[in-house]
Amino acid sequence: MTAGAAGIGLATAKAFAANGDRVHICDIDEQAMGRVTEANPGITTTGCDVSDRRSVEAFVAEAVHVLGGIDVLINNAGIAGPTGPVEEMDPDQWEAVLAVNLTGTFNVTRLSIPFLKKSDAGVILIMNSVGGRYGYPNRSPYATTKRGLIGLTETLAIELGDVGIRVNAIAPGAVAGERIQRVLQGRADASGRTDPDDIAALALFLASDSAKSITGQTIPIDGGSKAAQ
């Protein structure tokens, strides 16, 4: 799992570990990973910047070495990027969001597929957002990458279906936690928030045999809200 040391990633990693699964995460925050392994000895870690191809290669290689293979890949890494209209967008900031959200997910997945093919029940999950399902004013890099991940999810599901690998995306709304509390500060309406544990439970379900007929889907978990605006 990418970006597994905090928030949705950590909740999901802990849920899979509690389910008896061996879990290997990466994160760019070395201190946060240290806290994870101290509190959860069953979760192993690798430092990784998913925007760096060599770093991704090292992460996937170490995950395979530690786990002995890959059954479930969860692409959770993503950044929010800048806020502002397209005409004022810094191209370097635009490219930075694409490098993490889209290209990072592409590289982690590309390198993991040969090992997922060896699994009896390979699953790829991509954490998306309501920002990928609808237009998101003043958040064009974020919305564009998240919409792109829907296309990647659907394409992978078609490409890998014949070898028994299922691919789905999860699209949370605003997620309750420290970050969203900062984002929503001063707003009267904070509806549509989702707890990270809810998302972790959905990920567990989609990775299980109970979801063996579900693939190529982007599943919203947003409290019924259209978007967290």
The rounded distance, in Å, linking the Cα atoms of 50 and 33 is: 15
Burial class (CB in 10 A: 0-12, 13-18, 19+), 213: exposed
C-beta separation of 183 from 174 below 8 A: yes
Would you say how long the chain is, in residues? 229
Cα–Cα distances in angstroms (integers) from residue 24 to residues 4, 16, 214, in the given order: 9, 10, 24
Q: Could you say which of 129, 142, 143, 168 is catalytic?
A: 142
| C-alpha pair distances (Å), 124 with each of 32, 105, 169 | 24, 11, 8
Q: Is 142 a catalytic residue?
A: yes
**17: helix, strand or coil:** helix
Just list the catalytic residues.
142
